[in-house]
Amino acid sequence: MPYLFTSESVSEGHPDKVADQISDAILDHFLAFDPDSKVACETLVTTGQVIVAGEVKTNTYIDIQTIVRDTIRRIGYTKSEYMFEANSCGILTAIHEQSPDINQGVERGTPEEQGAGDQGMMFGYATNETANYMPLALDLSHKLLIELAAIRKEGRMMTYLRPDAKSQVTIQYSDDNRPEKIHTIVISTQHDEFDTEARMQEVIKKDIIDILIPRVKAQLTPELQKLFTDDIIYHINPTGKFVIGGPHGDTGLTGRKIIVDTYGGKGAHGGGAFSGKDPSKVDRSAAYACRHIAKNLVAAGVADEILVQVSYAIGIARPVNIFVNTYGTAKHGLTDQKIAEGVEAIFDMRPYEIEKRLGLRSPIYSETAAYGHMGRQPQTVIKTFRKPDHNGTLVLKKEVKLFTWEELNYIDAIKKYFKI
């Protein structure tokens, strides 16, 4: 029997994502000026207020007030009627030094023996149902909101849009786990005031179907475009009016959208959030490493779908275990256990080696904090960072490589090991 599977996404203006982006912007500035910084930065946003708290061990100083305001401004909270605005919101900072009890478990005599920054289990997942090896429902949910934000920032169409938005896509799958069609699309977007609620719903639904959907479809392969049939069920702003939104509508917290950040409910999640954490926290770095492994395994043809788990003990470099589940899709006579043994042989999963392999000590994290940490396009960019200096403002330009864990650079090594 066919079955349905649903994933959701949230926009960069969603209050939890505002908090994530602030935390990662602060992290990036610490790493830009001191790559050895240890950072655990949490953010809370609410009506007219930002609270930043956490633990940091660093040799640099950064201007948190400016970083917070620049981040909020970039997202689009620039009008007083939003009740949360970049220039006027209050900012409270409560950052103190990282616990020496934790630090002594991380720093070791040699970098290679750097201990895990915490205990826990992390997962990576990949499937061949999309070109970027991501679950289709989540991939479409992200694309809808990325394009909606692009329309808002262009300012030519749908000029009533405000920054906060959510999407949800339900896919109908066949018995053999292949996408058959899109069953339902849900979009709720914050908007300016309309004359009437009925007029608002009429205009927004028409614009979503006539403007947004065609722009998203144009980005897809012909095979995926066929999933957009005439009988899709649309729920557009189903609660009605959505003028009050963002941090004024709901309090936002760092790390509260971990399923949106990863695989939309497919595979598994270890429970640890990413944003605001430097790569010594394996919640983040090992989750990226597991995605890198899973994606390269699927791309190498080891299986159609793969889940990779790794777990750590705090202060210990080598993982406690590596687990692989291919959901019965393994090929070439391989078993899940044999694949797990291959993963351990090919990939060094000590935290320092993960940091080095994926270049995680660079300021690359702001770009991860909205629209998912996985499935994104690796690219090299030049980023500019500023901090107060005794001579005024120190400006630093750095060339960095984003989303390195999405690179398909281990396919040959995998094929060689498994003799594919």
User: The pTM is what?
Assistant: 0.96
Calpha distance 284→273 (Å, rounded) = 7
Per-residue DSSP letters for 112-156? GGPPBSS-EEEEEEEETTSTTSS-HHHHHHHHHHHHHHHHHHH-S
Is 348 assigned to a binding site? no
pLDDT of residue 119: 87
Closest to 381 (Cα-Cα) out of 356, 410, 358, 404: 404
Read off the amino acid at residue 92: L
Calpha distance 217→235 (Å, rounded) = 18
Alpha helices in 300-372 (DSSP H): 336-346, 351-358
Going along the chain from its start, the domains and CATH numbers come out as: 3-9+135-244 (3.30.300.10)
pLDDT of residue 49: 98
Contacting residues for 139 by C-beta, under 8 A, at least 6 apart: 130, 132, 375
Is 219 assigned to a binding site? no
Is 164 assigned to a binding site? yes
Is 338 assigned to a binding site? no
Closest to 239 (Cα-Cα) out of 253, 249, 231, 252: 249
Read off the amino acid at residue 358: L
Strand pairing class (90-97; 179-191): unpaired
Is 268 assigned to a binding site? no
C-beta neighbour count of 100 within 10 angstroms: 9
Is 107 assigned to a binding site? no
Is 344 assigned to a binding site? no
Strand order in 233-236's β-sheet? Answer: 3-10, 161-173, 179-191, 233-236
Calpha distance 126→134 (Å, rounded) = 6
Is 79 assigned to a binding site? no
Calpha distance 79→246 (Å, rounded) = 12
Is 273 assigned to a binding site? yes
Is 336 assigned to a binding site? no
CB-based burial, 42-80: b 16+ in 10 Å, e otherwise: bbbbbbeebbbbbbbbbebebebeebbbebbeebbbeee
- 135 within 8 A of 305, measured Cβ to Cβ: no
Calpha distance 234→167 (Å, rounded) = 11
Is 101 assigned to a binding site? no
Is 70 assigned to a binding site? no
**Per-residue pLDDT for the chain (420 aa), expressed as one digit of tens each?**
899 999 999 999 999 999 999 999 999 999 999 999 999 999 999 999 999 999 999 999 999 999 999 999 999 999 999 999 999 999 999 999 876 555 555 565 566 667 787 889 999 999 999 999 999 999 999 999 999 999 999 999 999 999 999 999 999 999 999 999 999 999 999 999 999 999 999 999 999 999 999 999 999 999 999 999 999 999 999 988 999 999 999 999 999 999 999 999 999 999 999 999 999 999 999 999 999 999 999 999 999 999 999 999 998 899 999 999 999 999 999 999 999 999 999 999 999 999 999 999 999 999 999 999 999 999 999 999 999 887 889 999 999 999 999 999 999 999 999 999
